[in-house]
Structure 1
């Protein structure tokens, strides 16, 4: 293993010995200085996970979350200097953790928090303006193909994942009820906002994403589906892009 590899391995494993080639400014073994640095790195990465997964932190409690974070960061150290990406493997790690076997929904809570962060850092798009919409003749709306800005995210879950997250962050929020919840994440300005999708919303959004016309998207959602509510939400959240020429 290279010197850099030895340093990286020892940095993330408190049971590893300090690399013998590591010295201080006077040429002496780094010793205690390396131990302090190693601890600071672990603490910094743990705090990054707490910031990135506040609901998971609240649900597990500080002690349990920090213990889990310590195991996670050693198994999945940062693969990129972009710290916004650190923790993307946490949902799968939680799925496989035996100590979380009675909290199988928490992996999806972590997925929701990942999706919110991805939406926050997604590229900007040029949203559909009211003037753009007004310029479309009413009879042509059904044949119009609207796009979605890059920050739009969709999360499907077999658990009441949005309700669980809201309750974790706000004890006054309603108690989560059993059942699946699909979540649409929109970024109206800077901060992403999660919205609970109702029946028909998912095929409608996915059809728009694939380039379907408005009429085709509505048809994919069912004969009795009315897209007015969702279209209004997408417009208000600056999630639709101008139609193709």
Structure 2
């Protein structure tokens, strides 16, 4: 008998086991579906046509910022432009949309990191647990390493800007999905970064305090993804245009399901969508 789940979905919950193998759970309604266990099996997905905001549960014809309705997009601090560009944090100006949320999420320690997602990139994250950040898994990084710890989100943006003058800050999702990338020397790159941003980093510390930005000891990690086969010529599934599909699940990387016939689908993009999943 096939297994079937239905309901509103959200981005896959990610973690790693003791060998840094990525583990995926897809929230579907009240269930947490173990997606790793479905690799190699046929799956069928049917989108109902209904979308609900992942914050207020309001019905919406269109999802914004990966799961929010338009009202929440314009009101929530987590949907403000400073989340994408943390250097534009305006909490100190007294104009934060949700000051309490900002205190709990932005005025906390953040990490600046290097990652290998097919090419080296710089990024920021709030949490690094047992040496691994869920953000690294979401981005499909095969290697990653935190290089600075800063005392709030604003500072992570200021540091990232300086590093991004020398290293890219974007993930090319097509490159990330096309295979296991070559191993990169993140420790040597960290050493280069320290030299490249020495003067602007000193200026940031002079303004915000010596402990505002702290360099970390190099501790690179490697993350393994459950992939049996990578796509050659990627074909992205759009649920709004293709609400029903059947496929063999060949792997998972980042927030993408890798399917047969070189098809992929970004599950995070459809947070708030109601669908049925059958395996």
TM-score normalised to the size of structure 1? 0.23
Task: Kindly name which structure, 1 or 2, has the bigger radius of gyration based on alpha carbons.
Answer: 1
TM-score normalised to the size of structure 2? 0.21
Higher helix share: 1
Higher strand share: 2
